[in-house]
Amino acid sequence: MQKFGLMLTALALAACASSGQSTSTTNQPPPPPSGTVTMHMFQGALIASGSGGDGSLNFQGRLYPFSIKGGGIGGIGASTIDATGEVYHLNNVSQFPGNYVQGRVGFAVGDASAGDLWLQNDAGVVMRLKAQRSGLMLSLGGDVMVVSMK
């Protein structure tokens, strides 16, 4: 279990580093977003973490509902998360579901919160999200999240 957690963290940090590196080394602006997402999730952590929730993808003028669940390592506490953001590198809605590696950093104390989520799947689809959290949570780590279309 400990090796699995370390692997998740390494994958998430590598995904975050590689996605940030591609734009900074070319000095070009990021590509235009392919769509947008909104999500509502619950996350609990005591070193290991678990989360789940629902969301919707706005892609080419249509809304696609999805569910999301996952687990990983890093953090302590419990919070609800409302996240919104952009989706990049999505050419077809069939590329959206699947396993995402997530890097996260944030905190919540009551309704005061801050945080960002970065997710990338095997098809190269990237979600960059701003998260509003409620609860009591300190979050720094990585997860594997599974997105399923409803």
User: pLDDT tens, 89-145?
Assistant: 999 999 999 999 876 665 556 666 667 778 899 999 999 988 887 887 776 667 788
Closest to 30 in 3D by CA, of 38, 22, 42 = 22
Phi, psi (rounded to 5 degrees) for 93: -60, -25
pTM, whole model, 2 decimals?
A: 0.73
Half-sphere exposure of 67 (CA within 13 A, CB side): 5
